[in-house]
Amino acid sequence: MTASPMKPYETAAPDDSARSTSTLPRSLVTGRLSSEQLLQGRGKVTIDHDGVAYVLSATRTGKLILTK
C-alpha cells in the first residue's frame, strides 16, 4: 500500500512516517507570523474571528493597533 501524496499545508500525524511537515511554511509550523506577512505592504488588514471583523493597522511609528 502506498501513501497518498501530501497536499500543501497538510499536517501529518506524529506516527505517520510517510508524511512530513517540511512542506509547511515555517510560520505555520511555529505559529508565529511577522507583521509584514500579515499586512503585505498594506496599512490595514481585516481579520475575521468567530464572525466578527477586526482591523489590524500599522501606525507611522511602527506600532500595531487591533480594533473591533
Distance CA 9, CA 6 (A): 8
Whether residue 53 lies inside any domain: the answer is yes
The domain total for the chain is 1
Q: Please list, residue by residue across 7-31, b when 16 or more beta carbons sit within 10 angstroms of its beta carbon and e when fewer do.
A: eeeeebeeeeeebeeeebeeeeeee
Which structural domain, as residue segments, surrounds residue 49? 34-67
| Sign of the four-CA dihedral 8, 22, 38, 65 | positive
Residue 21 pLDDT: 55
Whether residue 26 lies inside any domain: the answer is no
CATH number of the domain enclosing 38: 2.10.70.10
Residue 14 pLDDT: 52
pLDDT tens sequence across 8-55 = 444 455 555 445 556 767 777 788 889 998 999 999 999 999 999 999
* The model scores a pTM over 0.75: no
Instruction: Using alpha carbons, list the distances in angstroms from residue 1 to 4, 8, 15, 18, 39.
Output: 9, 22, 17, 11, 44
Whether residue 48 lies inside any domain: the answer is yes
